[in-house]
Amino acid sequence: MAVKKIKTIYDVLCPFCGTLCDDLEVDIADNKVVEVRNACQIGTKKFYSSNPNEHRYETPMIKKNGKLERASWEEAIDKAADILANAKRPLLYGFSSTECEAQSKGVELAEILGGVLDNTASVCHGPSLLAKQDVGQPGATLGEFKNRADLVIFWGSNPVHAHPRHLSRYSEFVRGYFRKDGRNDRYIVVVDPRNTHTAQIADLYIQVNPSEDYELLNAIRAVLRGVELDEKEVSGVSMEKIKELVNTMKTCSYGVIFFGMGLTQSLSHHRNIDAAICLTRELNDHTKFSIIPMRGHYNVAGANQVFTWNTGYAYSIDFSRGYARYNPGEFSSVEVLLKDQVDASLIVASDPASNFPAASVKNLFKHPLIVIDPHESPTTVYADIVLPAAIAGIEAEGTAYRMDNVPLRLRKVKDAPGECLTDKIILEKLIEKVKEKRGE
Ligand code: SF4
């Protein structure tokens, strides 16, 4: 029996969550992933998902008589360009699980089409971006936190499940330059309505009432300023515990708040983040403190960067007047779909059918739908055209931004199967064909 030749690729980035771990080792044999070292379970699974499987699209698909059937690239691009060129106001959505070079092409196409352009921040950390625009953000890199932070607060985030290696690489167990004893040199606080697995390994767990973070944040700010509140508790948290937390914050050497969707998507949304950022700023009168969002998709931070440097805005952008306008809540994907204000959609590297409200998904499916994706998903099942993509960070290289906005280079470890093309090339083909159809 012939022995398989195994090739090992080192320093590979994991294209799954915003931690963007960059120390993976991947073994490849016969263009298949046979071993992944250093990644967590969800990261490992993503690499194995690139191996041949029944859910992978390997050729373009076009819906005929209610069924997706194989088609040529020429036919699929022609049909997709036809839909987009004839739409009055198409929606271009997704972009957070692909490289920056493809995101940039998405912006170009949206501008040519006069469409609505949005990324997944609109349903996750959009409120964080709004708050940052209002009051700024005292931030730093994950490396700074690893080396310096002795107080780590997870507010409305549960990294044990959502960012599994965050704790061992940057925030809890890791040894840093000034935190040589790792976990013993750090005090961990979790603020969350649920007693999560992260809360269970914290030194202090503060159980806030659901959707009452805003009140708690402002009570902490008041106590920090020396105000005596005439209350026994705020948001379900006793005054003793609030004072204990304030004292812990004031006396640390370097504190950091990692906040997640528990804060952005609870009542008060961006006002929660406003208050958390203002608290961080005020803490800097006493010690050094930073705040940073726990970004979910591995390159949602990149989508915000790329959209901003191209248009001036990070998400929820409308080109229908020929120039970029920004108004989250009006031009966000969920809202334009709920109000049925778009007449075709192009979804790139995303699955809105799995996480948008049912009424907006119904309108998404009502109009022509084109999806660029490597795998079958609830969105692709209802698509009129599926354009099969190489998986960025596994089958295509490119740039991605970590949750702290540090750009890193994604590696290609294997070839894409069948006729798959990179997201960037597919979008370039669409741009060329749309221009041709419009006689530009
Ligand atoms: S923590 Fe995130 S980036 Fe790191 S290996 Fe796990 S899924 Fe990948």
User: Per residue in 407-430, pLDDT tens?
Assistant: 999 999 999 999 999 999 999 999
User: Could you tell me the residue range of the domain that residue 422 belongs to?
Assistant: 61-123+298-437
What is the residue whose two structure tokens read 């959609």? 345
Select from 293, 313, 345 the last residue of a domain.
293
* One domain, residues 277 and 172: yes
* One domain, residues 137 and 194: yes
Quick check: CB of 393 below 6 Å from ligand 1? Answer: no
* One domain, residues 273 and 145: yes
Q: Is 336 contained in some domain?
A: yes
Q: Is 55 contained in some domain?
A: no
Quick check: CB of 95 below 6 Å from ligand 1? Answer: no
Percent of the chain with pLDDT over 90: 98
> Which residue's alpha carbon is at the smallest distance from atom 5 of ligand 1?
39
* One domain, residues 84 and 131: no
Quick check: CB of 402 below 6 Å from ligand 1? Answer: no
User: Per residue in 116-153, pLDDT tens?
Assistant: 999 999 999 999 999 999 999 999 999 999 999 999 99
* One domain, residues 180 and 269: yes
> Which residue's alpha carbon is at the smallest distance from atom 7 of ligand 1?
43
Residue 78 pLDDT: 98
Q: Is 54 contained in some domain?
A: no
Residue 440 pLDDT: 82
Quick check: CB of 411 below 6 Å from ligand 1? Answer: no
For the residues 203-230, what does the mean pLDDT come to? 97
Residue 384 pLDDT: 98
Residue 3 pLDDT: 65
* 1 against 115, higher pLDDT: 115
* One domain, residues 363 and 253: no
Mean pLDDT (the chain) is 97
Q: How far is the CA of 19 from the centre of ligand 1 (A)?
A: 6
Query: Looking at 343-439, which runs of residues are DSSP E strands?
Result: 345-348, 369-373, 385-388, 398-401, 407-410
CATH number for the domain including 119?
Answer: 3.40.50.740
* One domain, residues 85 and 139: no
Quick check: CB of 433 below 6 Å from ligand 1? Answer: no
Quick check: CB of 408 below 6 Å from ligand 1? Answer: no
How many separate domains does the chain show?
3
Residue 276 has pLDDT above 80, yes or no: yes
Residue 344 pLDDT: 98
CB 68 within 8 A of CB 414: no
Q: Is 143 contained in some domain?
A: yes
* One domain, residues 146 and 285: yes
* One domain, residues 136 and 225: yes
Please tell me the distance from the alpha carbon of residue 216 to that of residue 208, in angstroms, as a whole number.
8
Secondary structure (3-state) at 272: helix
User: Per residue in 41-86, pLDDT tens?
Assistant: 999 999 999 999 999 999 999 999 999 999 999 999 999 999 999 9
Distance of CA 155 to the CA centre of its chain: 17
Q: Is 39 contained in some domain?
A: yes
Secondary structure (3-state) at 166: helix
Residue 162 pLDDT: 97
Q: How far is the CA of 237 from the centre of ligand 1 (A)?
A: 33
